């Protein structure tokens, strides 16, 4: 069966996350509905990352096996037409034919996330559902300095959701940069894989540093404690974006 790789963009605020579930609409449902309307098939999509409810994607990657051989451009355009008709906030950016060994989830070598903070007194209007608004001034320099404590291979139990299903809390964090751009603060995180809520937990703890409620040493102590109770606040989902997935 022909296998196709999809690059997908979506507004996560409209969905209960990527993965299909019993009582709420997910991004996966929207795409599988569109595939069924267009092709008469309902293949199961496999994604690089199962984003949570409210989390957005600029570059989600998924694959699907179809019985028919499609021209990638025609498949992309047809899916987008059906997604538009269904009023779904999902867009297929690109599609390519890949060999059957490609797996969007297990072949991924690195995943990249962006977290956006609006750091000004006035609340955002256009980006209200796409950023975390923090009106009190954050020190992005101290946040970035503290973030480097988390780089490398660690037990990230402190920054792991209590219901996380990962077999091990040990992960290698390759990048955690905090960059100010005017009134906006952007946090970039890269790793081969992340624990459930890891990025949002790290960002929330970095905000404690930015507000001068924590120091770099406090963040290190929280990491070393390997205790979820030592985590700072968990950043809300609307500021988080999956922005890229690397393959070998």
Residues 9/89, Cβ–Cβ less than 8 Å: no
Q: Which of 11, 29, 33, 52 is catalytic?
A: 52
52: annotated active-site residue: yes
- Among residues 210, 214, 246, 247, the alpha carbon closest in space to that of 230 is found at 214
- Among residues 191, 202, 208, the alpha carbon closest in space to that of 244 is found at 191
For the four alpha carbons of 191, 193, 195 and 196, in that order, the dihedral sign comes to positive
Active site residues: 52
């Amino acid at each position: 069966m022909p296998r196709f790789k999809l690059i997908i963009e979506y507004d996560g605020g409209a969905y209960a996350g990527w993965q299909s579930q019993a009582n709420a609409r997910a991004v996966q449902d929207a795409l599988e509905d569109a595939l069924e309307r267009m092709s008469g098939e309902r293949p199961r999509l496999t994604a690089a990352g199962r984003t949570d409810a409210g989390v957005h994607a600029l570059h989600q990657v998924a694959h699907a096996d179809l019985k028919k051989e499609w021209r990638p451009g025609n498949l992309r355009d047809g899916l987008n037409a059906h997604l538009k008709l269904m009023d779904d906030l999902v867009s297929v950016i690109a599609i390519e034919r890949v060999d059957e060994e490609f797996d969007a989830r297990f072949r991924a070598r690195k995943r990249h996330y962006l977290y956006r903070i609006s750091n000004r007194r006035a609340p955002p209007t256009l980006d209200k559902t796409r950023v975390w608004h923090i009106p009190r001034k954050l020190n992005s320099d101290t946040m970035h300095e503290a973030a480097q404590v988390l780089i490398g291979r660690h037990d990230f139990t402190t920054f792991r959701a209590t219901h996380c299903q990962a077999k091990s809390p040990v992960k290698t964090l390759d990048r955690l940069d905090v960059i100010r751009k005017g009134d906006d603060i952007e946090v970039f995180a890269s790793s081969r894989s992340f624990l459930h809520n890891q990025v949002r937990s790290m960002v929330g703890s970095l905000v404690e540093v930015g507000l001068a409620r924590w120091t770099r040493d406090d963040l290190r102590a929280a990491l070393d404690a390997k205790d979820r109770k030592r985590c700072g606040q968990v950043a809300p989902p609307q500021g988080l974006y999956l922005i890229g997935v690397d393959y070998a």
